A and B are shown apart, each in its own frame.
Chain A
């Protein structure tokens, strides 16, 4: 079992729709959870981080964490073509080590 699992996609949504990206992790001791966006040929850039169960909203983005189910998700509302990228889920334990999932490719169709 991989430590951080994501559906590789591609996930295709029309412009203006909600994109839902999901991630599961195996280490119950994980404490910090991150979503990064990576455009082709570029470095990952941080979108959201979440530490507590529940929802965290930032603009069009909402991160959801359920530690009991070892599940974290990212919702993108009013999806735009510029949101088309690979979204990486990352998980940290208390020891500063961050593990990444393989990423989900998102296509937003104009």
Chain B
């Protein structure tokens, strides 16, 4: 079974530019999550998809962040325009459908905004 895959693994962009991160969840996992870890801080929840619908986007920091999951398969997270404080590691995770099922993480995308 293929795990959660994320692309790219690293991205370095200048302030004001746009970056799009991609996540392919484990096949069959309807629940897909985006998290972010800023240096030294906890892994922060951004949002949760169930299939193509946003179940909870309470963690999205502001309207510069846009997440989509068209067709309920892979997801993208776009940051536009990027700011310095957006730097960090963006993790995608997916899980099975039963309550309490654990998260399976991708390797993350390390975003550096200069």
Contacts and interface: CB of A to CB of B under 8 A. Distances in A.
Contact of A103 (B42, B44, B50, B104): B42
A102 B42 CA distance: 4
Nearest to B44: A100
Contact of B99 (A4, A31, A88, A102): A31
A42 B33 contact: no
A44 B100 CA distance: 17
Interface residues on A, range: 20 to 34
A92 B100 contact: yes
B94 to A, nearest CB: 11
A88 B103 CA distance: 12
B95 interface: yes
B29 to A, nearest CB: 12
Contacts of B33: 98
Contacts, number: 53
Contacts of A43: 91, 105-108
B56 A97 contact: yes
A4 B45 CA distance: 13
A54 to B, nearest CB: 16
Interface string B23-62: 0000000010101000001111100101000011000000
20 contacts: A4-B42, A31-B100, A32-B100, A34-B103, A43-B106, A43-B107, A44-B91, A44-B103, A46-B104, A49-B102, A92-B99, A92-B100, A95-B56, A96-B50, A97-B48, A98-B45, A99-B45, A102-B41, A102-B42, A103-B42
The 6 closest A-B pairs by CB, nearest first: A32-B100, A102-B42, A43-B105, A100-B43, A46-B102, A43-B107
